[in-house]
């Protein structure tokens, strides 16, 4: 069964047990937009304990809030009981919930386009909040009073931006005004949840639009002040005719198409240190040290956003290295091979391509590196060692720090094409290290 068929079977079982039940939220929105839903949520009049009796495999992930996971053939489906929420005293969770009606459940949700439910038994959309109208008008509108919705869960402010960006919708005027009014309070939400939303803005489509909205609403200066600081930082017109650092960064984001998280953050943060490294010498503008400083800042930002170590280490590499390719034509062959053999080189070169297209369009260094990658065989970039530690012992060397030195120099000569066989490597060692020790 498909995911939709499984979700419908859950609705059918709930109905068969005497309960109201519908598909709800984002999956209904996506179906009306002729998009494949990422997941299917179900809403029902059944209480969690009743749901657990109907389905043999359930996980009470949020039973205190009326939410339970139903496992069907190993796939999880979120089933939520109709509920009415009490006051949100912490800006995230209701102080209490009580089970309610479908209308009460819909009216507590975030945006009208997410507030519709679908009856799969008769193919009927139940729309109590004019969600279909807002879909047609391409509008993100909070259900009821926008300020109340955002005070209930301040993450909804970032979600409004994400939906507007990925769907290419506009944020309705009163909803937008409430975000601007409450933007300074958004960090009452945990950084883990903020990090997830920022990542989704960057990777789910419309990243440039998303960051323009974050800036326009005042959220950017609260969440990522380091990125907001790029605004107004001038650059040399010969390399950057497009304008300041923020404009340049937005142009990079505008080129992203379903990128990996690491490439997306690499594009966002590659010039993050320019505002702190900028120097003006007459008409000349420089940013000495911005790559190294930027790598440090990127790590700190991604740690704040609670991204994984793997993510922030890779992004730091991309930021630190994003101009190294400009030296590639002048590198020694061994150095070039090491550079092209680095883990992450493909992602780095994609960043350099996007970076160049967002500036003066000069792709010569990017093209050079790609041509060399096509020209060099894998075994030339990552050759098998010609000698190892055991060979050095057989040659009479005593194990110690000199081993690392010799093996590194042999590898350098191998990558540079000076030696190509084990015998040549041994002769090179005998010639350069006549004294054993």
At residue 89 the predicted structure's pLDDT band, cuts being 50, 70 and 90, is low
Statement: residue 88 has pLDDT above 70: no
SS3 187: helix
DSSP assignment of 366-434? HHHHHHHHHHS-HHHHSPPPS--HHHHHHTTPPSSHHHHHHHHHHHHHHHTTS--SHHHHHHHHHHH--
- The answer for 127, left when phi > 0, alpha when psi is -120 to 50, beta otherwise, is beta
Residue 352 contacts residue 370 (beta carbons within 8 Å): no
The reported pLDDT for the residue numbered 296 is 98
SS3 169: coil
SS3 62: strand
Say what the pTM is. Answer: 0.89
Give the containing element (helix H, strand E) for 8: helix 3-16
Residue 146 contacts residue 174 (beta carbons within 8 Å): yes
Residue 388 contacts residue 395 (beta carbons within 8 Å): no
* Residues found in the chain: 437
**pLDDT tens string 130-155:** 999 999 999 999 999 999 999 999 99
**pLDDT tens string 165-178:** 999 999 999 999 99
**Residue 112 contacts by C-beta under 8 Å, 6 or more apart in sequence?**
129, 130, 131, 133, 134, 139, 141, 142, 143
The mean pLDDT value for 289-300 works out to 97
At residue 95 the predicted structure's pLDDT band, cuts being 50, 70 and 90, is low
**pLDDT tens string 358-398:** 999 999 999 999 999 999 999 888 889 999 989 888 888 88
At residue 285 the predicted structure's pLDDT band, cuts being 50, 70 and 90, is confident
The reported pLDDT for the residue numbered 435 is 80
Taking each helix axis from N to C end, the angle separating 245-253 and 207-217, rounded to the nearest 10 degrees, works out to: 140
């Amino acid at each position: 069964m498909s995911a939709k068929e499984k979700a419908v079977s859950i609705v059918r079982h709930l109905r068969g047990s005497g309960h109201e039940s519908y598909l709800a939220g984002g999956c209904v929105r996506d179906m009306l937009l002729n998009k494949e839903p990422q997941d299917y949520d179900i809403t029902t009049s059944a209480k969690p304990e009743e749901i657990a009796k109907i389905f043999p495999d359930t996980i009470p992930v949020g039973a205190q809030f009326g939410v339970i996971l139903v496992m069907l053939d190993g796939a999880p489906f979120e089933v939520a009981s109709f509920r009415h929420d009490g006051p949100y005293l912490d800006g995230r969770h209701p102080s209490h919930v009580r089970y309610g009606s479908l209308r009460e459940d819909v009216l507590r949700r975030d945006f009208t386009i997410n507030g519709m439910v679908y009856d799969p038994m008769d193919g009927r959309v139940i729309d109590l909040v004019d969600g279909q109208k807002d879909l047609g008008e391409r509008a993100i509108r909070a259900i009821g009073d926008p300020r109340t919705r955002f005070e209930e869960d301040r993450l909804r402010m970032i979600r409004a931006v994400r939906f507007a960006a990925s769907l290419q919708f506009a944020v309705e005027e009163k909803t937008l005004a409430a975000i601007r009014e409450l933007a300074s309070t958004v960090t009452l939400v945990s950084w883990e949840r903020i990090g997830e939303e920022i990542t989704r803005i960057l990777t789910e489509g419309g990243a440039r639009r998303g960051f323009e909205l974050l800036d326009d609403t005042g959220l950017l200066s609260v969440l990522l002040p380091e990125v907001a600081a790029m605004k107004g930082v001038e650059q040399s017109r010969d390399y950057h005719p497009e304008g300041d650092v923020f404009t340049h960064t937005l142009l990079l984001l505008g080129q992203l198409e379903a990128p990996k998280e690491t490439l997306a953050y690499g594009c966002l943060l590659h010039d993050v240190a320019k505002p702190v490294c900028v120097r003006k010498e007459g008409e000349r503008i420089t940013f000495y040290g911005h790559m190294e400083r930027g790598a440090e800042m990127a790590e700190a930002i991604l740690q704040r956003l609670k991204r994984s170590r793997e993510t922030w280490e890779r992004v730091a590499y991309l930021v630190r290295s994003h101009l190294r390719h400009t030296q590639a034509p002048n590198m020694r062959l061994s150095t070039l091979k090491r550079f092209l053999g680095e883990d992450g080189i493909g992602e780095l070169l994609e960043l350099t391509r996007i970076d160049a297209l967002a500036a003066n369009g000069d792709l010569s260094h990017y093209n050079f590196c790609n041509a060399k990658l096509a020209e060099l065989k894998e075994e030339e970039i990552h050759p098998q060692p010609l000698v190892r530690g055991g060979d050095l012992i057989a040659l009479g060397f005593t194990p110690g720090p000199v081993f690392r030195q010799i093996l590194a120099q042999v590898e350098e000569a191998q990558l540079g094409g000076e030696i190509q066989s084990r015998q040549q490597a041994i002769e090179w060692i005998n010639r350069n290290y006549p004294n054993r020790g």
